[in-house]
Structure 1
């Protein structure tokens, strides 16, 4: 039976809307931080495109979950159009190709697009102008290194031996049979999965470094504009943004409480998931895969419940992702971009240089890839099955007296459908358990550092709104701006 157009429209139209909103958000964000006196159109467009593509890798996850959930009715049986395995496979493949396309574009942006424009801008010399051809040639020379790196990662992912499918009669097969039925994958998929896993691992490090700092800032106070000099204070007092923030000032405590509540729910949910994995997962050799959630998880339960009212779960999931992204942005804004002990770039509204924008975009891309893993850790039931339920083990229609249960990996296949993101992660974590184990322990590190940072924030003496935000070289940069305008 053909897939009804209403099903495809309900799943993909919100995603199209999100694409437009994501593009607008990326453009506004990049424009907000872009220097007014030192910018280049090619760099701006490249960062907007790269940031948009990366954010879409998170935006497609709710579409994936909605489509697999929409295949079943409230009584746990498949809908008429979804009874045909070919129809289900068609939807699954379309989502899978969407993931492959977006992650391939992310790889292209990180290893080709952004490095090229970074070195392209580095060759710009106002004193002795160089031709565009000369700048392109020099940028391509440096780009060879990045091409060799990505080629090496692809070869490693495609040819390095990984854990294969165990014998169907072995004990190990009995352990993983409940997780997924199909271990097959091709070399190209393994290559892309390996590259994204390496990038996500770097993103986890950046996530721990920047997002924890950003969450602490969000919880302690509202993120008001950062003042760089007395002249900037006067300018901010006249700005429209400043006037809007003054209007919102009476609600500062309310917003602060809401931020604290969201952070607390996320912390508790991640903690419970990790404890659940420690107690009931299949162990590190299978990447701490959790066949069934045993402990209650407030965020996971809320999302599963909200999926009954479309598109409430989509909005909540997007809100969680946006919260993580804004915390990460706040952390990067506060810490800056460093190489070891050397500060490379400061991220300041209207004053960030093109190279700083490119580095900012790359760090955000790494972090968003890690956020995709964190979201899976945060909502194991919702991210795997959505609101799917089952009432018997035959796949047929249920009677009203049949009790319904949340779908688990033990009934995956004919009884329920696994979201493609969950399938890709679980399958790869089994084949290369190191990544699954690292993400698991990385989550523990994130939770530990967050608790430590929160305690320090509570007992530490509160600073004024401009204390620590004005660096000595801010005044030097202001002088440079005056020279550029003169």
Structure 2
């Protein structure tokens, strides 16, 4: 019964993730360049990668359901065959999802990219481009990716496992013997996954670290300094003054043979540039206030204004959560660097936690009552996913210092959306490692499982810890007690990730030390964002982005609440004072 409930909860989460993936794609893609193939692939890929990482709490709940955390004993129904069936089912689901992620990332998304690029509207109109020609044009460019996948799995199939790991005395423990004993197919998949995780980690430590610092601060500073009605009224007033001044300068020019002098010419040019800025701002203010829109849009704008103060509270809570994640990762990293049983030889696998770690403790305690831990895990994954999206949107898709694509709400091209989807796929694979190995390592490996560390009175009888609570201990990789071997069942996710880091220590070492780089980037971006007032990019020709930055980032708290109230009522104050700064194209804070 409990097993069925766990799988039903996962199915509900998948449906929820499908809605989230659809909203994500809909919000970011540009309306005028929407392509059905791109939309479907992006939604399906995003849903698949989130489903992969959200299988972890299902994994933990299923293996933990076989034992009782109260007395450290295996439940009566949890026979070895039943436990093996649960683990085998989880393996099939994991291998299916991991393989699907790899195929989507390396084959399907590139093919969709080239399929969209091959479309020629004029050729399609006159009939010179057929479905077959377009299909072959996309496929021939995808051949290189097919060869890459084949080479990747061949290398993984034949590459020797780490000899140092096998020679390490700690590998004699049953837990590690089980990890090292795998077939060539598992080794090929482990190598491919390890490579993708490592590549994803390099992307993750830049984009997710930046987004983790920027997202809470962006929510805190999201209330505009001036309401949409006030902005429209201010802009109209400034625009009128601007045009009046232009008329005065042009009036001076009448009757002059040489025209305006150099000083007046420079002023007129500045006024023309300012006029364009004010016109763009006036248009965006009209859109923000819901003018010329239906009642549903206007109602949504007012509801958004009502709940705007909650963004401040939400931003503060997310900032606390981000700092908690930072502290937890730092503690685990120090613990692994100092107390790992085999250090570099096995990718810094930690036998058991030696330092109190808050995030791990929260998940272990909550996992005793399913689905509390699942809800918390879902919120954690969505937070990290949203942080990754914010990071990609802020930094952009770059090659070194060259910006290839920009990711912006309602203005993201199909090509940029597909590339962002690939990056998110790799980032989520890296998140899988980070959550399981750094944020909540004990929870991800054994959950709340415990064992009774006492000898039984009779051979074959399970020990009794009902009157000896101190003898109940949490399951760890290093537990060699016969009862622990029988009771403790490691999660499939942790086993698979540890298999990657132990059989291919290079991946484990790179992934582990990259976490410290992640923490360093997060700290730098967080402190910079916290104490540095963001500046408006006056050269940005995109009007809506320019005004979002101006309205969202340059404000005081009192002006924010005034703006919120005016947005709710839809009325602006009658007196609008304009300053020199306003006339130069910025809203006075």
TM-score, structure 2 normalization: 0.75
Aligned to 1:3: none
Q: Indicate which of 455, 462, 472 corresponds to 1:396.
A: 462
Aligned to 2:32: 37
Aligned equivalents of 2:88 and 2:160: distance in 1? 26
Q: Deviations over 1:198-238 (max 9, x none)?
A: 11112111111111221222232317499995233432332
- SS for the counterpart of 1:396 is coil
> What is the CA distance between 1:178 and its match in structure 2?
6.0
Aligned equivalents of 1:148 and 1:408: distance in 2? 41
> What is the CA distance between 1:242 and its match in structure 2?
4.1
Aligned equivalents of 2:284 and 2:448: distance in 1? 51
Superposition RMSD in Å: 2.4
- SS for the counterpart of 2:305 is helix
Aligned equivalents of 1:421 and 1:57: distance in 2? 10
> What is the CA distance between 1:415 and its match in structure 2?
3.1
Aligned equivalents of 2:47 and 2:538: distance in 1? 29
Q: Indicate which of 355, 379, 383 corresponds to 2:440.
A: 379
Aligned equivalents of 1:269 and 1:51: distance in 2? 27
- SS for the counterpart of 1:343 is strand
Aligned equivalents of 2:18 and 2:172: distance in 1? 40
Aligned equivalents of 1:361 and 1:133: distance in 2? 26
Aligned equivalents of 1:324 and 1:441: distance in 2? 19
Aligned equivalents of 1:21 and 1:108: distance in 2? 23
Aligned to 2:107: 112
Out of 241-250 and 354-363, give the one that drifted further: 241-250
Q: Indicate which of 452, 467, 470 corresponds to 2:524.
A: 452
> What is the CA distance between 1:390 and its match in structure 2?
1.1
Aligned equivalents of 1:31 and 1:132: distance in 2? 27
Q: Does 1:220 align with 2:217?
A: yes
Aligned equivalents of 1:260 and 1:9: distance in 2? 36
> What is the CA distance between 1:295 and its match in structure 2?
0.4
Aligned to 2:77: 81
Q: Does 1:177 align with 2:176?
A: no
Q: Cα gap change, 1:284/1:164 in structure 2, threshold over 3 Å: closer, same or farther?
A: closer
Out of 348-357 and 96-105, give the one that drifted further: 348-357
Aligned to 1:12: 7
Aligned to 2:137: 138
Out of 248-257 and 115-124, give the one that drifted further: 248-257
> What is the CA distance between 1:350 and its match in structure 2?
2.1
Aligned to 2:372: 312
- SS for the counterpart of 1:289 is coil
Residues 183-332 of structure 1: matches in 2 within 5 Å? 183-222=180-219, 224=222, 230=281, 231-238=283-290, 239=297, 242-281=301-340, 282-332=342-392
Q: Cα gap change, 1:388/1:121 in structure 2, threshold over 3 Å: closer, same or farther?
A: same
Do 1:123 and 1:135's aligned partners in 2 also have CA atoms closer than 8 Å?
yes
> What is the CA distance between 1:288 and its match in structure 2?
0.2
Aligned to 2:541: 472
- SS for the counterpart of 1:295 is coil
- SS for the counterpart of 2:135 is helix
- SS for the counterpart of 2:403 is strand
Q: Deviations over 1:74-115 (max 9, x none)?
A: 211000111x21111110010111110001101110121111
Aligned to 1:336: 396
- SS for the counterpart of 1:37 is helix
Q: Cα gap change, 1:70/1:433 in structure 2, threshold over 3 Å: closer, same or farther?
A: same
- SS for the counterpart of 1:81 is coil
Q: Indicate which of 414, 417, 421 corresponds to 1:357.
A: 417
Aligned equivalents of 1:359 and 1:350: distance in 2? 16
> What is the CA distance between 1:164 and its match in structure 2?
5.3
Q: Cα gap change, 1:233/1:119 in structure 2, threshold over 3 Å: closer, same or farther?
A: farther
- SS for the counterpart of 1:409 is coil
Do 1:347 and 1:356's aligned partners in 2 also have CA atoms closer than 8 Å?
yes
Structure number with larger C-alpha Rg: 2
Out of 54-63 and 120-129, give the one that drifted further: 120-129
- SS for the counterpart of 1:128 is helix
Aligned equivalents of 1:325 and 1:225: distance in 2? 23
Where has structure 1 moved over 6 Å in runs of 4 or more? 225-228
Aligned to 1:405: 473
TM-score, structure 1 normalization: 0.90
Aligned to 1:481: none
Unaligned runs of 5+ in 2: 229-276, 291-296, 456-460, 546-589
Aligned equivalents of 1:269 and 1:114: distance in 2? 35
Q: Indicate which of 421, 427, 431 corresponds to 2:499.
A: 427
Aligned to 1:152: 151
Do 2:210 and 2:521's aligned partners in 1 also have CA atoms closer than 8 Å?
no
Aligned equivalents of 2:338 and 2:488: distance in 1? 25
Aligned equivalents of 1:59 and 1:216: distance in 2? 23
Q: Does 1:102 align with 2:77?
A: no
> What is the CA distance between 1:253 and its match in structure 2?
3.0
Aligned to 2:259: none
Do 2:171 and 2:177's aligned partners in 1 also have CA atoms closer than 8 Å?
no
Aligned equivalents of 1:106 and 1:284: distance in 2? 28
Q: Deviations over 1:304-335 (max 9, x none)?
A: 11112221111111111111001011111122
Aligned equivalents of 2:499 and 2:149: distance in 1? 22
